[in-house]
Amino acid sequence: MRAETAQRFEALETLASNMRALFTKAGYEPVSPAILQPADILLDCSGEALRARTYVFTDLDGTELCLRPDITVPTARLYMERHPTVFEEARYCYNGPTFRYSPASSARKNKGKTVRPREFRQMGLELYAMRDRLAAEAEIFKLTLDGVEQAGLSDYRIKIGDLGLFGAFLDAIDMPDRWRVRLKHHFWRPELFHKLLHELAWSSENKSSENKSSENNGEPQKNTPHLDPKDPISAMLVVSRYMSKNNIPLFGNRTLEEITLRLLEQQLDSDQQRLSGDHVQLIEDYLDINGPPRAAVARINDLTDKAGISIDKALRNFEKRLDLFKARGIDLKSTEFSAEFGRDFEYYTGFVFQVEAPDSAQIGPIAGGGRYDKLLQKLGASEKVKAIGCAIHTERLLTVVEGEME
C-alpha cells in the first residue's frame, strides 16, 4: 500500500512537472501561495459553495485561519502584495494541495482510487491585467487544453458559459434594479434562482400570504409602522418599540438589527414593480439554451429579436472570442454552450469553461476556470482588475488518463 501511494504521488508530481514546463515556457511564473489563509477574506470571496466546505480554525492568538479550499484567491492576494497598483500584467502558475470538506458519500472511488478526497492537488494558471480581455481568455483556455492533452487526456468534452452575456441580457429587460442585483447574485444556485425568479412575479395576494407567514414566524410585519430605508438607526428604534409594545421576543438567533434590515428589505421589495409573466418566461427561455456555441448565438439572437431587446455588443464579443479560439487551433466540435452554466464559484464575472471526462458525473470536472474581474477589488483594489484563470485537478486527470491507457 505504501509503495502504491508513493508511486501515485510520484506520478502526480511528474504530471504536474510536465505541465509546469509547458506553462513556464508560455511565460507563467511558478508561485507557491501560502496554504494557511485569513479565513474572513477567503470565505468572503469564495461564495456559498466553498464556504460550507472550508476547514476553518482559530490559532492560539485568536486569529481565524483556514486551509485554502482553492488557490485562486491566495494567488490574487500574492499578486496584490507584489503589485500594489494592481495594473501590471502578470502571469502565474502553481501546483499544490488544497482542502475541502467532502462527506464520506462524496469521496468516491474510481478503479480503486479516491477521486474526491478532502485533500487534493491542484495545478493552475492566473493571468492579471492583460488589456485585451478576449485574447487573455483565449490564451488561458488554450493553455488549459494543451496541459490536459499533454498529460494524455484525449477523450473529453468542454462546457462553456458567459455570465457577462447573461448580465447584459438581464440589463436589457425592463425590471427594477433590485431584481437584477438579486437575480445576478443567485445565478450560481439554479434551484434558488428559479424559485426567486417566480417569487419576483408573485401577485399582491401572494405577497400578503408571505407577510402573514413572516408574522407567524415571530417577525413583526403587518402593522409595523412605516420604516425609512434611508435611516436604519431610527428604523431599528421603531421596530424595538413595536416589539416591546406587542410583547414580541427576539426570534431564534436573529438580532434586532437583522430583523430591522429584513423588514427594510421587504418594504423596499414591496414598493417595486413585479416581474411580468412574459419576462419570467423570457428569462427561462434564455437559460434553456444550450448546444454548439455558434448555434446558441443564433438562438439567443432569435430570442432577443422576438422580445424586442438588444444585447448586440455582448453577442459580438462572444463571437469574437469564438473566432480567437478557432485562430488558436481550438476545435469546438466537442464544446457545448450552456446559458445556465456559471460554475460554483461566485467570483466569476464573464466567460467560464469546464473540461469534463466521459464519466464526469462520477469524478467531477477535470479542469475549469473563467474570468473574475471583481475579485481583486473585493480584496482591496481601488477598482476592477481584469483577471482570468483556471484550475486543473491533477488527481482526477491522472485517474482518467490511467484509465484511458489501460
pLDDT digit string (tens) for the chain, length 406 residues: 566 778 888 999 999 999 999 999 999 999 999 999 999 888 888 766 677 789 999 999 999 999 999 999 999 999 999 999 888 999 999 999 999 987 754 544 544 454 457 899 999 999 999 999 999 999 999 999 999 999 999 999 999 999 999 999 999 999 988 889 889 988 888 888 999 898 888 644 444 444 444 444 445 554 566 777 777 788 788 888 888 887 887 765 678 887 877 776 666 666 667 889 999 999 999 999 999 999 999 999 999 999 999 999 999 999 999 999 999 999 898 899 999 998 878 889 999 999 999 876 678 899 999 999 999 999 999 999 999 999 999 999 999 998 865 5
Beta strands in 181-304 (DSSP E): 290-291
Q: How many domains does the chain have?
A: 3
Cα–Cα distance list, 158 to 296, 366, 392 (Å): 15, 10, 13
SS3 153: coil
Both 64 and 128 in a single domain? yes
In a domain, 88, yes or no: yes
In a domain, 175, yes or no: yes
Question: Contact 315/165 with Cβ under 8 angstroms?
Answer: yes
- Distance (Å, whole) CA 194 – CA 163: 16
Both 41 and 68 in a single domain? yes
- Distance (Å, whole) CA 12 – CA 335: 27
Both 7 and 135 in a single domain? yes
Both 227 and 215 in a single domain? yes
pTM, 2 dp: 0.82
pLDDT at position 360 is 67
pLDDT at position 253 is 60
Residue listed under C-alpha cell 501590471:
88
- Distance (Å, whole) CA 301 – CA 304: 5
Beta strands in 225-366 (DSSP E): 290-291, 335-338, 351-356
SS3 54: coil
Q: Domain of 139: which CATH number?
A: 3.30.930.10
In a domain, 162, yes or no: no
Both 215 and 306 in a single domain? no
Q: Which domain range does residue 52 map to?
A: 2-156+357-405
Residue listed under C-alpha cell 488554450:
142
Q: Report residue 343 as a C-alpha cell.
A: 460554475
- Neighbour count for residue 297 (Cβ, 10 Å): 18
What are the residues facing 58 on neighbouring strands?
Answer: 64
In a domain, 28, yes or no: yes
Both 48 and 141 in a single domain? yes
pLDDT at position 267 is 65
pLDDT at position 217 is 47
pLDDT at position 48 is 67
Residue type, 314: A
pLDDT at position 1 is 58
How many alpha carbons fall within 13 Å on the CB side of residue 205? 0
